[in-house]
Amino acid sequence: MRFEVRLAGFGGQGIILAGFILARAAVLYDGKRAVQSQSYGAEARGGACKSEVIISDERIDYPLVIAPDAFLAMSQQAFDKYAKDVKPGGVLVLDSDLVRGGDLGSGIRLFKIPATRIAEGLGNRIVATMVALGALVELTGVVSRGAMEASVRDGVPKGAEGINLAALREGFKFSEGARSA
């Protein structure tokens, strides 16, 4: 099993942290192998940002995402640039508060979540990416809920564990039993 995930948006949304949390969940808590890579613009906040994670039961020989099985779009720019790369049958999760969508390849399962509104309801819009990541994990089952929760507890800055766990769980709950939008 080789499962490729791309997370993209803009700096300041926690995209890099989300990739780190996902990779940690796979390796440390689900006993899988993972590789995480990232790229971002020169701007501290607001520039393009991308994190990629490959999760596998076997050795990962090539550490770059070729065609994502799952893609999380947290900005329209990210959607426009990367949605076309999702493989047929793949899952595309977008924050419907920030991304209007657009043309998709055939066979892509689109899931829209109001991640920013959910995060604002929790008291801090900065955790919107964690809400969306929870939805992606629930939709794909690439790692277990327990692994994600443990990874969040260990991987976010001290004092931010509670709101990040709440955000993750809201994403799980929002997408339980969900089908394509």
Evaluate if residue 37 carries a pLDDT over 70.
Answer: yes
Evaluate if residue 40 carries a pLDDT over 90.
Answer: no
Domains of the chain: 2-175 (3.40.920.10)
Half-sphere exposure of 177 (CA within 13 A, CB side): 0
Residue 9: strand pairing partners: 49
Evaluate if residue 165 carries a pLDDT over 60.
Answer: yes
Q: Using 50, 70 and 90 to split pLDDT, how confident is the model at 33? A: very high
**Amino acid type, 146:** G
* pLDDT tens per residue, range 171-180: 999 998 764 4
Tokens of 46: 């607001």
pLDDT for the residue 11 = 86
Dist. CA 56–CA 26, nearest whole Å: 9
Percentage of the chain lying above the pLDDT 70 cut:
94
Residue-wise DSSP of 40-51: E-SSSSSSEEEE
Minimum mean pLDDT range among 44-48, 82-86, 103-107 = 44-48
pLDDT for the residue 45 = 60
* pLDDT tens per residue, range 104-155: 877 899 999 999 999 999 999 999 999 999 999 999 999 999 999 999 999 9
Instruction: Show Cβ contacts of residue 8 under 8 Å, excluding neighbours closer than 6 positions.
Output: 15, 48, 49, 50, 51, 71, 72, 73, 74, 75, 78, 81, 82
Instruction: Show Cβ contacts of residue 65 under 8 Å, excluding neighbours closer than 6 positions.
Output: 4, 5, 6, 52, 54
* pLDDT tens per residue, range 70-79: 999 999 999 9
Predicted TM-score (pTM) of this structure: 0.91
Q: Using 50, 70 and 90 to split pLDDT, how confident is the model at 18? A: very high
Dist. CA 20–CA 10, nearest whole Å: 16
Q: What's the DSSP call for residue 132? A: H
Long-range residue pairs from 152-156, CB within 8 A, at least 24 positions apart, any chain: 152/21, 154/24, 154/28, 155/17, 155/20, 155/21, 155/24, 156/17, 156/21
From the number of C-beta atoms within 10 Å of its C-beta (0-12, 13-18, 19+), residue 26 rates as buried
pLDDT for the residue 181 = 43
- Of the two residues 43 and 94, the one the predictor is more confident about is 94
